[in-house]
Amino acid sequence: MKKFAIVLLALAAVALLGTSAFAKGNPLADNEKKVNKEFAALVPKDKIKNVDDLHKKWQEVLAGKSDAYILDVRSVPEFQAFHIEGSSHIHDGHMYTIPKKIKDPNAEIWVFCRTQARSAYIAGFLYKYGYKNVYWVNKAPDGTAGGITGWVKRGYPVVNYFFGYVDKNGMHYSKPPLKERKGKNFIREFDGQRGEYTAK
């Protein structure tokens, strides 16, 4: 039994070393991280915000005090599972459609994803496209994740077409179809996305 345990530990150590070596020997993954940082660096420091800033801006948008776009760039399944009420949505792989939908280069756009990796690319690309007022939702100073992950961890509300609203106090059922509040500037990539709105 002792020999068996030693063999298992040895195999585990070899596997761990192999995994580590593979990770270190993957220049493509290293380059992706480097490129992600390059795109993130295109966002001015004063335009890098956290989920608390996003929550404040979202409240202003719903109150009609801001014309900002609250832009979710997660995949369609992620968005339909749950999202911030009234948020705009363009899948990150279709970012090339954004200039067709948001034609003002001075438009205020807050970009977020699940954490902060995909949104770094999109925010950087938007600056490359010529937009001048793009905000990237990154990690909070205390290390709290950015994006919808950080939003949910903070207890901020999300919505789903079928069950309604969820916040830190639990689920608040709303009979489908969900009637979302929204701000003045609002876009959704596809017609028929669940919710009461049709993208234009």
Q: What is the largest CA-CA distance in the chain?
A: 71
CA angle 72, 33, 88 (to 5 degrees): 5
Enter the CATH code of domain 44-200: 3.40.250.10
pLDDT at 169: 86
pTM, two decimal places: 0.81
Residue stretches of the chain with pLDDT short of 70: 1-24, 191-200
Torsion of CA 109, 113, 115, 121, to 10 degrees: -70
What's the rounded Cα separation, in Å, for the pair 137 and 115?
9
What's the rounded Cα separation, in Å, for the pair 71 and 26?
32
pLDDT at 11: 37
pLDDT at 133: 99
pLDDT at 192: 53
Task: Name, in order, each residue with C-beta under 8 angstroms of 23's C-beta and a sequence gap of 6 or more.
Answer: 29
